[in-house]
Amino acid sequence: MELVLITGMSGSGKSVALRALEDAGYYCVDNLPPELLLPFVQLEERVASRQLAIAMDVRSAKSLPQVPTQLHELRQRGVTVRSVFLDSTTDTLVRRFSETRRRHPLSGMRDTNPAQMNEASTLQKALVEAIELERELLADLREQALVIDTSVTRPAQLQAQVKEMLSAPDSQLTLVFESFAFKRGIPVDADYVFDVRMLPNPHYEPELRHLDGRDGPVIDYLKAAPEVERMGQHIEGFLTEWLPALARNQRSYVTVALGCTGGQHRSVYLVEKLARTFAPHWITLKRHRELENR
């Protein structure tokens, strides 16, 4: 049996991810109380279910601390467990709750007519505090999961990322390389962040500006720059040194983010290069945040 556990911040897209799993043939259950996780899996084993997807969130806050132990028990019983944690920046979550006028499950705010809200700043402060409390309550689950930053992700892109995760073989450690633009913020799912903005920038070459780091002319331009190759070697050396230690520490996923100014040329080129280098040794995925959001 394969079990996918979807957790994450309220407003980060768990329902979108669950729909992607349902489309992929998983039997999906939303907001299952942690107390029912083991009995539910046992029931599904008796009816020969092969693929389950369960969403849990902070509405089960009191019993969430049970979940890591339960997942360990399921793995001991031979169940393949994949855990996905959806995250977003606090500013993004505040905006989403404000736009939809939904109440955060930890906010404690009463339903109020927006026209009667004279203390908008107080309400926003309460929402931020609720989001930060939620981060604390979910920290242990986040630590054991593949983290996907949905701050600038469209629903279709998130569904594609979830399906890509399912296509990767179950392994002790999966390595994720991600390119991004610093001007749009550092991905909150990154375990390691490398700044490559000091490298030669193809953006300033008119014939390369409209291309990206996967195109031949840009590759040739960056390959010819010794500092670009040296940066790639330094990142490769760091990861080669420390990935085995992370694997021994039972890490399931490690996300390495490389950022440049626009997330189009230098970071994309290095992500592609590093993914090819490490693919023979680790389960390797790659993402190009800005290119996928075009």
The answer to whether 185 is a known ligand-binding residue is: no
Rounded average pLDDT over 236-261 = 92
Mean of all residue pLDDT scores within the chain: 89
The answer to whether 57 is a known ligand-binding residue is: yes
Cα–Cα dist 151/166, whole Å: 21
Cα–Cα dist 137/293, whole Å: 30
The answer to whether 49 is a known ligand-binding residue is: no
Q: pLDDT digits over 106-133, tens only?
A: 876 444 444 444 455 666 778 899 999 9
Give the list of residues 6+ apart from residue 51 with CB closer than 8 angstroms, or none: 1, 2, 4, 24, 25, 26, 27
Q: pLDDT digits over 34-55, tens only?
A: 999 999 999 988 888 789 999 9
The answer to whether 11 is a known ligand-binding residue is: yes
Cα–Cα dist 199/229, whole Å: 10
Q: Which two tokens stand for residue 28?
A: 């999906």
The answer to whether 163 is a known ligand-binding residue is: no
Which residues on neighbouring strands pair with residue 180, listed in sequence order? 259
The answer to whether 8 is a known ligand-binding residue is: yes
Rounded average pLDDT over 161-171 = 77
The answer to whether 59 is a known ligand-binding residue is: yes
How sure is the predictor about 62, in pLDDT bands with cuts at 50, 70 and 90?
confident
Q: pLDDT digits over 269-283, tens only?
A: 999 999 999 999 999
Per cent of the chain over pLDDT 90 is 64
- Checking if the pLDDT of 291 tops 70, the result is yes
The answer to whether 13 is a known ligand-binding residue is: yes
Rounded average pLDDT over 143-167 = 87
Tell me which DSSP letter residue 123 carries: H
137 residue type, one letter: L
The answer to whether 15 is a known ligand-binding residue is: yes
73 residue type, one letter: E
